[in-house]
Amino acid sequence: MKIAFVVYDGLALLDFAGAFDPVTRLKTMGFVNDLEYDICARKEKVRSFEGIDLIVNRISPDLSTYDYVFVPGGNGIQSLISDADFLRWIAVPPGRTIIAAVCGGSLLVGATGRLRD
C-alpha cells in the first residue's frame, strides 16, 4: 500500500499530523508491513500555518501511482484553490487512487472536479 501525504505552504499542522501519525504507525506497529508513504509537495520544504518547516521527500511525483492521496486543509488553500498547476497535480483520475482530505483539503479536491455527482 502506497500513500502520498500532500503538503503545501500554509497547511494546518494538525490536519497533516492528525492523519500522518496513526497511518504511519500501521507499519511501525506491524499491522501493515507493505505500507510505503511519502511526504509530497511541489518544492523541497514547506512551512505550516503555525510556522513549522516540513522537509519533503518527493517533489511533484505522479500521484496516480499511489493507492491513497491525503490532502490536509489550512489557510494555504486560499491561494491554491485557483492555482491550476497545483490542482492538476492533485487531480488524479478516478479509479485506482483514493483521495482523502481533511477540512479545507476537501475544497482543494472539490476544485479539481473530483467531488461532482
Q: Residue 84: which residues within 8 A CB-CB, separation 6 or more?
A: none
pTM of the model: 0.94
The overall average pLDDT reported for the chain is 95
Q: Domains (ranges, CATH) in the chain?
A: 2-104 (3.40.50.880)
Q: What are the backbone dihedrals phi and psi of residue 64, each rounded to the nearest 5 degrees, phi first?
A: -70, -10
Report pLDDT for 116. 78
pLDDT in tens, 62-105: 999 999 999 999 999 999 999 999 999 999 988 889 999 999 99
Q: Across the strands, what pairs with 3?
A: 37, 68
